[in-house]
Amino acid sequence: MFRWTRPLAAAAALAGLAPLAPLSTGALQAQAAVTSADPRLEGLKAEALKLVEGRAKQVQEIVDMLFSFQELGFQEWESQKYLTGLLEKEGFKIERGVAGIPTAWTARWSYGTGKPEISLGSDVDGIPQASNKPGVGYRDPMVSGGPGHGEGHNSGQAVNVVAAIVVKQLMQRDKINGSIMLWPGIAEEQMAGKAFLVRDGIFKNTDVTLFTHVGNDLGVSWGASGQSALISAEFRFRGSSAHAAGAPWRGQSALDAVMLMAQGWEYRREHLRLQQRSHYVIKDGGDQPNVVPSTASIWFYFREQDYPRTMALFETGKKIAEGAAMMTDTKLDTVMILGSGWSAHFSKPIAEAMHKNVQTVGMPAWDDKDQTLAKGIQKELGSPDFGLQMQVNKELRGAETPQNWMGGGSDDIGDVSWNMPTITLRFPSNIPGLPGHNWANAISMATPIAHKGALAGAKVQALTMLDIFLQPKVVADAWTYFRDVQTKNVKYQPFIRPGDQPPIWLNADIMAKYKPQLQKFYYDPTKFKTYLEQLGIEYPTVRPAEAKPRGDN
């Protein structure tokens, strides 16, 4: 018996078919719609490449503008104002403050039936203490101690915004059905945004998500991401204050509980899987030494391969916290989940379509100045100074299950990927061989390297959007893979609990301290062609090579 599935309905809507009653004729029509490809596709792709190239200046301005804001997670106010204002002028319907996150937003536009819907996401937050002048291949902060884009999240929105504007223009002109939704990854560095977006139903009508993230290559992969699943949790202890010298025996130190929990975790670490990753900071250690701390807190990241293993780490942490409270006669007052993320799984059919477009676009043409900056910072950090990558990978990489998995970083795009077909496009706006989450990763992020890399990413993104809108089979195959392979034996359940809310207070104090200084450096594209020009930086600026003594001949 014919069943009208979500991807088949989207494909039929694209072909102009209504979701008819489950009759054999309707089934045949829908199946025909799924297998047919629009003859306009190749011509539109060629046109899209030219249109994106024609918006190179806009790519540069978006990249440079977001770099100049240098905002941390949950405090991306200037980024929100700028991006939503830009998209609103382009005809997108804006909703701000979604999912209980004041700096989050969505921008939507639809034509015709509105199906399929593509969501385009990319992160926007920066890194604490990562301030550095762009284009300068050594440590030279713009604001000493200030935040900066030490991962490069300022660049991904340019990829999506320009691709969306170009594809929207073609859809309007050629009457192509579909919807586009843009959204930012808020507080990705805290892993505290996307699970709340999923829970709030932001993606309830989405058929495919094309996520994008800065890298040093141009590419995509499918299947198990190799990322760690993660729970971010803060343990708050409550004791009783007393004069630390006059009557310390009358106090119960919450700080003692925090330190015992940390030490208990270190003893337990020996008996955990090698693949796990766990780390912590003490957010509240008391007010001053002569007062026994009545409150204290410790913030943990627990990372493991999947949901059950990560939950097991979290439960172990709770037991150790309870033991620490017992030993100090304090109370484990609150255990807050501040953020979380599944290990992602990416769609093979969507990745296959995108990989072909990566081959079409290829890596940017780096010039001598780009390579000089790259080799300069690589040498500065003691890395092999091989410069920027020149070629894209010819083979599409991926596997259904993790291969020789030994732990590593996380990205909360995982929660999105387990709710709909999703991929992540890597685009080359950063320099290889750098440590990550570091000032060094900021130096390329408002330079021609970032501009060229984001432009290449925008081209791939636009071509892939056209594949999805004009080839119903891509969407249908993606949902078949999602249903029959990815989620056949694994079902998504969120780490966050019903009562957990986004920790929107995070980083507020840091931004309150540094924003007045950062505002002096906001980019003004009406006066300066580039941010480097506004800052008066000669590109590239690197340390001069040391003269080597000549030997006698």
pLDDT given for residue 6 in this prediction:
52
Task: Tell me the three state secondary structure of residue 454.
Answer: helix
Q: What pLDDT does 358 receive?
A: 98
Q: Output the CA torsion 238→239→243→245 (10° steps).
A: -110
3-class state of residue 390 by DSSP: coil
Q: Read off the tokens for 380.
A: 């500065």
> Tokens at residue 13, please?
């809507």
Phi, psi (degrees; rounded to nearest 5) at 37: -115, 145
C-alpha R_g of the chain: 25
Q: Is residue 1 over pLDDT 60?
A: no
Beta-bridged to residue 340, according to DSSP, are: 231
Mean pLDDT of 467-480: 98
Q: Cα-Cα-Cα-Cα dihedral of 251, 257, 260, 262, to 10°?
A: -140
Is the whole model's pTM more than 0.85, yes or no?
A: yes
Task: Encode burial over 37-70: b for 16+ CB neighbours within 10 A, e otherwise.
Answer: ebeeeeebbebbbebbeebeebbbbbbbbbbbbb
Going from the C-alpha of 482 to that of each of 207, 208, 222, 486, the distances in angstroms are: 11, 11, 12, 5
Tell me if 445 sits within 8 A of 155, measured CB to CB: yes
Q: For the residues 155-182, what does the mean pLDDT come to? A: 98
Q: Where are the beta strands (DSSP E) in 100-177?
A: 105-111, 117-123
Confidence of residue 35 (pLDDT cuts 50, 70, 90): low
- For the segment 329-340, the average pLDDT, to the nearest whole number, is 97
- Convert the pLDDT of each residue in 216-256 to its tens digit: 999 999 999 999 999 999 999 999 999 999 999 999 999 99
pLDDT tens per residue across span 68-95: 999 999 999 999 999 999 999 999 999 9
Omega prior to 116 cis, within 30 of 0: yes
Q: In this structure, how many other beta carbons lie within 10 angstroms of the beta carbon of residue 97?
A: 11
- Tokens of residue 151, six digits: 């991962």
Angle at 373 between CA 369 and CA 377, to 5 degrees: 170
Whether pLDDT at 12 is above 50: no
Nearest to 218 by CA among 485, 553, 526, 454: 454
Closest Cα partner for 154 from 518, 441, 409, 535? 441
Q: What amino acid occupies position 547?
A: A
What is the rounded average pLDDT of the residues 386-399? Answer: 96
Instruction: For residue 335, count other CB atoms closer than 10 A to its CB.
Output: 15
Distance CA 180, CA 205 (A): 11
**pLDDT of amino acid 550:** 59
Reported as a pLDDT band with limits 50, 70 and 90, residue 338 is: very high
**Which whole number is the average pLDDT over 203-207?**
98
The pLDDT score that the predictor gives to residue 21 is: 41
In angstroms, the CA 264 to CA 262 distance is 5
Beta carbons within 8 Å of 531's beta carbon, 6+ residues apart: 64, 65, 67, 68, 134, 446, 523
- Residue identified by tokens 């536009």 is 109
- DSSP H helices, 471-530, are 472-481, 508-518
Helix or strand run (H / E) with residue 532: helix 531-535
User: Taking 70 as the threshold, does the pLDDT of residue 371 lie above it?
Assistant: yes
Q: CB atoms < 10 A from the CB of 15, how many? A: 17
